[in-house]
Chain A
Amino acid sequence: MSRFSELLDDFFYRPDEDVTGLHDFAAGSDGVRAIAPEEVPEEYLAFRLESECYAVPIRGVREISKVPPLTEIPRAEPQLLGVMNLRGELLPVYDIKVRLRLAERPPLVAGPDAPPPPRHARILVLRTQTGPAGVWVDGVVGVVKLKPSMLEAPPPGMRTGDKDCVVGMGRRGPTLYILLDAEQALAP
Chain B
Amino acid sequence: MNPGSKALAEFVAEATEILDALARDLLVLDERRGQEADPDLVNGIFRAAHSLKGLSGLFGQERISRLAHGTEDLLDRLRLGKLLLDGAVLDALIEALDAFQALLGEAARGTETEVLSGRVDAMAARLASLGAPTEVSEDDPLDRLELEAQVRSVFTEYEEHRLRENVRRGVALWRVRAAFDLSDFDKGLAELNARLKPMGEVISTLPSAQPGGSHGIAFDLIFGGQVDSAALEAGLEGTPAELSPLGVRPAVDVVTPALVRAAQPAVTVRQGAGKSSAAGAGSEKAPPASRPRADTGAGSELGPRESGRDTRGGGKATGAPGTAASSDAADTTAATSRKRREDSSDAPTRDAPDVSAEPRRADAESSSPTKRSGGRKRSSRTPAATPSEEQQPLLPHLSSDGAAQGAVDWPTSVSEGVAHLDVSDPGAPASPGAPEPHESIVPTEPSPAPLVAYLQGAAKASPKGLSVAPSPPAAGPGSAPAPSVGSPSAQTSDTSLRSLTQTVRVDIGRLDGLINMVGELLLIKANLQRLAESARQDGAVALSKLFGQELARETRGLERKLEALQEGLLEARMVPVGQVFDKLARLVRRITREAGKEIEFVISGGEVELDKLIVEELSDPLMHLIRNAIDHGVESPDARLAAGKSRRAVVSLRAEQKGNHVVIEVSDDGAGIDEVRVREVAITRGLITFAQAQEMTRRELLNLIFQPGFSTARSVSELSGRGVGLDVVKNNLGNLSGIIDVWSERGKGTSFHLTLPVTLAIIRALLVGVSGRTYAVPLNSVLEIISVQPRDIRTVERREVLDVRGQTLPFVRLARMFALPDRPVSRYFVVVVGLAQERLGIAVDELHGQQDIVTKPLGGRLQSIRGISGATDLGNRRTVLVLDVAALLEEGMATERRRA
- Complex Cα–Cα for A112 and B871 (A): 17
Give the contacting residue for B865; candidates A69, A73, A130; CB below 8 A: A73
- Complex Cα–Cα for A85 and B519 (A): 14
Minimum C-beta distance from B774 to chain A (A): 9
With A85-B877, A111-B772 as given contacts, are A75 and B819 in contact (CB-CB < 8 Å)? yes
When distances are taken between beta carbons in the complex, the residues of chain B under 8 Å from A88 are 516, 520, 856, 873
When distances are taken between beta carbons in the complex, the residues of chain A under 8 Å from B819 are 74-75
With A73-B868, A75-B866 as given contacts, are A130 and B858 in contact (CB-CB < 8 Å)? no
When distances are taken between beta carbons in the complex, the residues of chain B under 8 Å from A76 are 862, 865
B527 within 8 A of partner (CB): no
Give the contacting residue for A71; candidates B857, B860, B867, B879; CB below 8 A: B879
Q: Name which of A71, A80, A111, A186 has the most chain B CB atoms within 10 A of its CB.
A: A71
- Complex Cα–Cα for A90 and B519 (A): 14
B865 touching A71 by the CB < 8 A rule? no
When distances are taken between beta carbons in the complex, the residues of chain B under 8 Å from A75 are 818-819, 865-867
B879 touching A83 by the CB < 8 A rule? yes
A113 within 8 A of partner (CB): yes
- Encode A98-131 as 1/0 by CB contact (under 8 A) with B: 0000000000000111000000000000001011
B773 touching A72 by the CB < 8 A rule? yes
When distances are taken between beta carbons in the complex, the residues of chain B under 8 Å from A83 are 858, 862, 871, 879, 881
- Encode B842-885 as 1/0 by CB contact (under 8 A) with A: 00000000000000111111100111101101000111110000
Give the number of residues in A that approach B within 8 Å (Cβ atoms): 25
With A83-B858, A88-B516, A128-B861 as given contacts, are A71 and B772 in contact (CB-CB < 8 Å)? no
- Complex Cα–Cα for A128 and B772 (A): 32
- Encode B764-799 as 1/0 by CB contact (under 8 A) with A: 000000011100000000000000000000000000
- Complex Cα–Cα for A113 and B772 (A): 8
A77, closest chain B residue (CB): B864
B881 touching A92 by the CB < 8 A rule? no
Minimum C-beta distance from A89 to chain B (A): 8
B769, closest chain A residue (CB): A112
A74, closest chain B residue (CB): B818
- Encode A162-179 as 1/0 by CB contact (under 8 A) with B: 000000000000000000
A131 touching B861 by the CB < 8 A rule? yes
B861 touching A84 by the CB < 8 A rule? no
Of the four ranges (under 10, 10 to 19, 20 to 34, 35 or more), the interface on chain B belongs to 20 to 34
Q: Name which of B817, B819, B858, B859 has the most chain A CB atoms within 10 A of its CB.
A: B859
- Complex Cα–Cα for A71 and B881 (A): 8
B775, closest chain A residue (CB): A74
A73 touching B773 by the CB < 8 A rule? no
A133 within 8 A of partner (CB): yes
When distances are taken between beta carbons in the complex, the residues of chain B under 8 Å from A154 are none
B880 touching A130 by the CB < 8 A rule? no
- Complex Cα–Cα for A51 and B264 (A): 90
When distances are taken between beta carbons in the complex, the residues of chain A under 8 Å from B871 are 71, 83, 85, 90
B818, closest chain A residue (CB): A74
When distances are taken between beta carbons in the complex, the residues of chain A under 8 Å from B696 are none
- Complex Cα–Cα for A109 and B565 (A): 38
- Encode A6-36 as 1/0 by CB contact (under 8 A) with B: 0000000000000000000000000000000
B820 within 8 A of partner (CB): yes
- Encode B47-69 as 1/0 by CB contact (under 8 A) with A: 00000000000000000000000
A161 within 8 A of partner (CB): no
- Complex Cα–Cα for A90 and B854 (A): 12
When distances are taken between beta carbons in the complex, the residues of chain A under 8 Å from B866 are 75
When distances are taken between beta carbons in the complex, the residues of chain B under 8 Å from A73 are 862, 865, 868, 881
Q: Which of B808-827 contact A (CB under 8 A)?
A: 817-821
When distances are taken between beta carbons in the complex, the residues of chain B under 8 Å from A113 are 772, 821
B880, closest chain A residue (CB): A71
- Complex Cα–Cα for A112 and B769 (A): 11
B858 touching A90 by the CB < 8 A rule? yes
A148 within 8 A of partner (CB): no
With A84-B879, A113-B772 as given contacts, are A92 and B818 in contact (CB-CB < 8 Å)? no
Q: Which of B274-296 contact A (CB under 8 A)?
A: none
Minimum C-beta distance from B789 to chain A (A): 25
Q: Which of A61-82 contact B (CB under 8 A)?
A: 68-69, 71-76, 80
- Complex Cα–Cα for A12 and B203 (A): 67
A69 touching B516 by the CB < 8 A rule? no
B516, closest chain A residue (CB): A88
When distances are taken between beta carbons in the complex, the residues of chain B under 8 Å from A133 are 861
A85, closest chain B residue (CB): B879
- Complex Cα–Cα for A5 and B720 (A): 83
- Complex Cα–Cα for A88 and B875 (A): 10
Minimum C-beta distance from A124 to chain B (A): 15
A69 touching B818 by the CB < 8 A rule? no
- Complex Cα–Cα for A178 and B468 (A): 70
When distances are taken between beta carbons in the complex, the residues of chain A under 8 Å from B880 are 71
Give the contacting residue for B873; candidates A85, A92, A186; CB below 8 A: A85
- Complex Cα–Cα for A72 and B857 (A): 16
When distances are taken between beta carbons in the complex, the residues of chain A under 8 Å from B862 are 73, 76, 80, 83, 92
Minimum-distance CB pairs A-B, first 6: A74-B818, A131-B860, A112-B772, A130-B860, A71-B879, A85-B879
Contacts beyond the supplied A74-B819, A83-B862, A130-B861: 4 A-B pairs with Cβ under 8 Å: A69-B878, A74-B881, A85-B877, A90-B857
**What are 23 inter-chain pairs, A to B, with CB distance below 8 A?**
A68-B877, A69-B877, A72-B773, A73-B865, A74-B818, A75-B867, A76-B865, A80-B862, A83-B862, A84-B879, A85-B878, A88-B520, A88-B856, A88-B873, A90-B857, A90-B871, A91-B859, A92-B858, A92-B861, A111-B772, A112-B772, A113-B821, A128-B861
